[in-house]
Amino acid sequence: MPFSSFLQFIVSGVTVGATYGLTALGFTMIFNTTGIINFAQGEFVMLGGMLAVFSMKWGGLPLPVAVPLSVLLVTAMGVGVDRLTIRPMRGKPAVSLVIVTIGVSILLRGGAMLIFGKDTHALPPFSEGAAIPLGGASLLPQSIWVVGITLAVLVAMKVFFDRTITGKAMLACACDRKAASLMGINVDVMVTVSFAFSALVGALGGVILAPITLTAYDVGILLGLKGFAACILGGLGNPFGAVAGGLIIGVLESLGAGFLSSGYKDAIAFVILLALLFLRPSGLFGKASADRV
Amino acid sequence: MEGMKLFSAALLGGALLLGGGAFAAEPIRIGAIFSVTGPAAFLGEPERNTAKMLEDEINKGGGLLGRKIEVVVYDDESDPTKAVTAVDRLIKKDKVVAIIGPSTTGSTLAIAPKVEEGKVPLVSCAAAIDIVSPVRRFVFKTPQSDVLAVKQIYRHAKKNGISKVAILTASDAFGSAGRKELKELAEKSGVAVVADEVFGPKDTDMNAQLTKIKGTAAQAIVCWGTNPGPAVIARNRKQLGISMPLYMSHGVASNKFIELAGKENAEGILLPAGRLIVDEQVAEKHPQKKLLTKYAKEYEARFKTPVSSFGGYAFDALSLVAQAIKSGKSAEPAAIRDSLEKTKGFWATTGEFTFTPSDHNGLTEDAFVMVRITKGGWEMLK
C-alpha cells in the first residue's frame, strides 16, 4: 500500500470524523447541563443541511445567506425543543427526558420528510475550485472548511467555558444543579442556552458536510449514532474528548475500509469502540466516575 | 300452490338478475404494493403515480370487459414484513384478481409464497433474477434482470479494449445481486475482476474504496447501487482525479442521479438503461417510440416531475395484467395467470415481453441500451 493511499484514508477520515465530532459536541453540551442524552441531536445536523438546501431552492437565497440563516433557524428550534418539551418535564427522571428527545427526533424527521420530501439533496461547496493535491492524496476545498470550522468551534467553546461567566455557570450546573441553583444561577436558562448551542453546533456540522456527503431527511439517524459513539469513546461530558472521539472513529472507518475490507467498515469502528470501552469504561479522556453511591 | 311456486321462481329470478346486474357493475380489483415511503420511495412513488394514472386512462377508455378497474394500493414502507401484511389483505379482504409490485426484491421474495398459496398472479416491479428463477407459477416481473445489464456493460467494455475491471457494489440486496452477476459473468465475457469493493448504501464517503481501486491494474470501475451511494462515488472519483471509465448500473438511470452527483462529476459515466430516459433519441420507427413519448409526456404533465424508468416498471406491470384480462376474456385470477404466460411480443416501456412457462421476465438484452451522461443529459450510444 503506497503512502499516498494511506494519506488519502487519513484525509477522508478526518473530514468525516470532524462532523462526527461536531455532533458529539452537541451531545456533550446538553449532557453537561441536564444530565440527559439528547437523541434529537442527529436531527439538528440533518436540519442544518436541509434548511440550507431549501432556503436556496425555494427562497432563492445565495449560499452565503442560506448557510447562516439555516444555522440560526436550527438554533431557534433548539430553544423551542427545550421550552416546549424539556422544560415542562422538569424534575422528571432522566429516562423520561431521554424518551422525550427520541420522540422529538421522530417528529423532526417525519416533519422534514413531509415538508422536504424523501429525496437526497446536494448543497454547492462553499468555495469553488478543484481538489488540492497533497502528497499524492487529494483534498477537497470543502474539507478544509469542515476541519477549520470544527477547530474554530472547539476553540470558541474552550474560551466560552473558561473565560465567560455564562460558561462557568453552565459548568456549575453540570457539577451540581441544586448547588448551582442555590448560588443564584438560573438553571432553566442554562439548559435553554445549552440546547441553543448544541442545535447550533449540530446545524453547523450539517451545513458544512452537506456539500461533500449530500443530505436527506434521514441522515440524522446514522450521524447521531456515530456522534454518540464518538461521545462515549472520548468520555461523556468532555468536549475535547468528543471531538477527538469523532476524529478517531472517522479515521478508523476510513483505514478499516482501505486496509481490511470495505464491507466491514462500520463494524470495524464499533468493534474498536467496544474493545476500548472494556479497557476504559469511562472513555479515552473521561475521568473515572466514583460518585452517586 | 302452483301460483306460489311461480311467484317464488319469479322472485328468485329477479333477485338473480338484480344480483347479476350489481356484479357486472362491480369493478375489477387489482392490488398494488409499492414502497411509497421509506428508503425505496424513489421506486415506489413513481410506481404508485403511474399505476393511478394508468387506472384512470383504462377507465376513461371504458375499462376492461365492460367493467371498470380499481387499483388498490398499499404502501409497504420499504419493509418486507409490511408487504406480507398487505398481500394478506389484498387477497383475503380486497379479493383482488391480480397484484402488481412490490417495488423491492426483498418484499417480492417475502410475498411470493403467499401469492402462490392464494393463486393470485403477481407482476413484480423489482429487478433481481431470484424473483423468476426458479420460476414460480404465479410470479412474473417487469424490470430487466441484472444479468442483462451486466452483459451490456461487459460487451461495451470489451469493445473498448477493457479487460480488467474493479467492481464497487452496495451492500444492500440490489448491490449484492449485481456483485454476484458481475463476478459470475466476468470470465465468460473475457473480463477479469481485479478489485472487489463494497460500500454501505448509507455511506457518505467512498474515498477509501476508490483509493484502493486506483492502486490496482483496473482499467474501468463498475459500480452497482442505487442513490445516493453512486452519486457520492461519482463525486469522490472526480476529487481523486481518477480518469478510468466509470460504469454504473441501471439503478441510477434517473435525472436525480445527475443532480446529486453534479453535472461535471457525472460527465462521461456509462450505464445500461431502458429507452424511457432517452425517449427523444429513440428512432421514430422503433415500436416503443410512441408509447414512450406518450407516457413521458402525460406523466410529466400530471405529476410535474421527470419520468423515470421505475414508474415504467409499474406501467408495464399494469399494462400486462390489463392485456391478459382482455385477451383471456376473464378476470379470474387463474385465467389471468394463464393468459399472462401466453403474452407474446407485447411492447411496453421496458421492452418487448414474451412470457413462456420457463421465462417469467420475458425480456432480452435489447431491453437495454448503453447511454453516456453528457453535459447533464443522457446520450444514447449506438
Q: The complex's ipTM?
A: 0.72
| Distance linking the first and last C-alpha atoms of chain A | 52
**What residue in B sits closest to A15 (Cα-Cα)?**
B205
Cell numbers at residue A144, please? 478544509
Cell numbers at residue B105, please? 426484491
Domain boundaries, chain B: 28-144+289-367, 146-273
Cα(A248)–Cα(B216) distance, integer angstroms: 27
Residues of A in contact with B103 (CB under 8 A): none
Using a CB cutoff of 8 Å and minimum separation of 24, what contacts does A265-274 make? A265/B199, A265/B200, A265/B203, A265/B208, A266/B200, A269/A229, A270/A229, A273/A229, A273/A232, A273/A233, A273/A249
**Quick one: CA dihedral B330, B32, B226, A249, positive or negative?**
negative
Residue with cell 394500493: B73
The secondary structure of residue A287, as a DSSP letter, is: P
The pair phi, psi for residue A183, each rounded to 5°, is -80, 5
Query: Shortest CB distance from A263 goes to which of B37, B45, B198?
Result: B198
Q: Choose from A15, A209, A214, A266 for mutation: most chain B CBs within 10 A.
A: A214
B305 in contact with A at a CB cutoff of 8 Å? no
Query: Shortest CB distance from A8 goes to which of B37, B198, B207?
Result: B207
Angle at B36 between CA B30 and CA B40, to 5 degrees: 120
Give one DSSP letter per residue of A90-150, joined into a string. Answer: TTS-HHHHHHHHHHHHHHHHHHHHHHH-S--B----SS--PPEEETTEEE-HHHHHHHHHH
B176 in contact with A at a CB cutoff of 8 Å? no
How far CA B130 is from CA of A182, A268, B136, B181, in Å, comes to 68, 31, 10, 12
Tell me the shortest Cα–Cα distance from B379 to chain A, in angstroms.
24
- Is the Cβ–Cβ distance between A104 and A217 less than 8 Å? no
Task: Give the closest residue to A22 by CA, choosing from A144, A204, A155, A213.
Answer: A204
Residues A257, B231: C-beta atoms closer than 8 Å: no
Half-sphere exposure of A45 (CA within 13 A, CB side): 33
The secondary structure of residue B359, as a DSSP letter, is: B
Residues B211, A131: C-beta atoms closer than 8 Å: no
Task: Give the closest residue to B265 by CA, choosing from B216, B206, B219, B191.
Answer: B206
Cell numbers at residue B225, please? 447501487
The pair phi, psi for residue B165, each rounded to 5°, is -125, 155
Give one DSSP letter per residue of B256-281, joined into a string. Answer: HHHHHH-HHHHTT-EEEE-GGGGGGG
Amino acid at site B372: R
Cell numbers at residue A72, please? 440560526
Residues B209, A257: C-beta atoms closer than 8 Å: yes
Amino acid at site A214: L
Look at strands B369-374 and B377-380 and give their pairing. Answer: antiparallel
Residues of A in contact with B45 (CB under 8 A): 118
* Overall size of chain B counted in residues: 382
- In this predicted structure, what is the pLDDT of residue B20? 44
Task: Give the closest residue to A149 by CA, choosing from A198, A222, A206.
Answer: A206
Cell numbers at residue B48, please? 404508485
Domain boundaries, chain A: 19-279
The tens digit of pLDDT for each residue in A62-119 reads 999 999 999 999 999 999 999 999 889 877 888 898 899 999 999 999 999 889 987 7
Q: Which residues pair with B67 in a beta bridge?
A: B64
- Is the Cβ–Cβ distance between B103 and B83 less than 8 Å? no
Residues A16, B205: C-beta atoms closer than 8 Å: yes
Chain pair A-B, CB pairs under 8 angstroms = 90
- In this predicted structure, what is the pLDDT of residue A138? 81
pLDDT under 70: residue ranges of chain A: 1, 287-293
The helix/strand count (H/E) of chain A reads as 11, 2
Residues of A in contact with B198 (CB under 8 A): 261-263
- In this predicted structure, what is the pLDDT of residue B254? 83
Cα(B208)–Cα(B231) distance, integer angstroms: 15
Amino acid at site B212: K
The secondary structure of residue B306, as a DSSP letter, is: -
Q: Which residues pair with B371 in a beta bridge?
A: B271, B380
A263 in contact with B at a CB cutoff of 8 Å? yes
Residues of B in contact with A214 (CB under 8 A): 204, 228, 231-232, 260
The SS3 of residue B125 is coil
CATH topology of domain B146-273: Rossmann fold (3.40.50)
Domains B28-144+289-367 and B146-273 share a fold: yes
Residues B207, A11: C-beta atoms closer than 8 Å: yes
Query: Shortest CB distance from B211 goes to which of A9, A120, A219?
Result: A9
Residues B208, A11: C-beta atoms closer than 8 Å: no
Burial class (CB in 10 A: 0-12, 13-18, 19+), B116: middle
Task: Give the closest residue to B182 by CA, choosing from B225, B157, B149, B159.
Answer: B149
Tell me the shortest Cα–Cα distance from B257 to chain A, in angstroms.
10
- Is the Cβ–Cβ distance between B351 and B144 less than 8 Å? yes
Query: Shortest CB distance from B205 goes to which of A121, A213, A255?
Result: A213
Residues of B in contact with A213 (CB under 8 A): 204-205, 232
The helix/strand count (H/E) of chain B reads as 13, 14
Query: What is the rounded radius of gyration, in angstroms, for the C-alpha atoms of chain B?
Result: 23
Residue with cell 431521554: A98
Cα(A180)–Cα(A174) distance, integer angstroms: 9
Cα(B59)–Cα(B154) distance, integer angstroms: 44
Q: Which residues pair with B352 in a beta bridge?
A: B347
In the CATH scheme, what architecture does the domain B28-144+289-367 have?
3-Layer(aba) Sandwich (3.40)
Residues of A in contact with B259 (CB under 8 A): 122
A123 in contact with B at a CB cutoff of 8 Å? no
Query: Shortest CB distance from A5 goes to which of B202, B211, B256?
Result: B211
Q: In the sheet where B369-374 sits, what is the strand order?
A: B192-199, B164-170, B220-224, B246-248, B270-273, B369-374, B377-380
B214 in contact with A at a CB cutoff of 8 Å? yes
A118 in contact with B at a CB cutoff of 8 Å? yes
Cα(B63)–Cα(B57) distance, integer angstroms: 8
A138 in contact with B at a CB cutoff of 8 Å? yes
pLDDT under 50: residue ranges of chain B: 14-23
Amino acid at site A177: R
Task: Give the closest residue to A168 by CA, choosing from A21, A28, A25, A32.
Answer: A32
**For residues B103, B104, B107 and B112, what is the CA-based torsion angle, rounded to 10 degrees?**
80
Amino acid at site B290: K
Residues A258, B256: C-beta atoms closer than 8 Å: no
**What residue in B sits closest to A123 (Cα-Cα)?**
B260
Q: In sequence order, what are the residues at sequence separation of 6 or more whose Cβ sits closer than 8 angstroms to the Cβ of residue A273?
A: A229, A232, A233, A249
The pair phi, psi for residue B380, each rounded to 5°, is -80, 130
Task: Give the closest residue to A245 by CA, choosing from A174, A154, A157.
Answer: A154
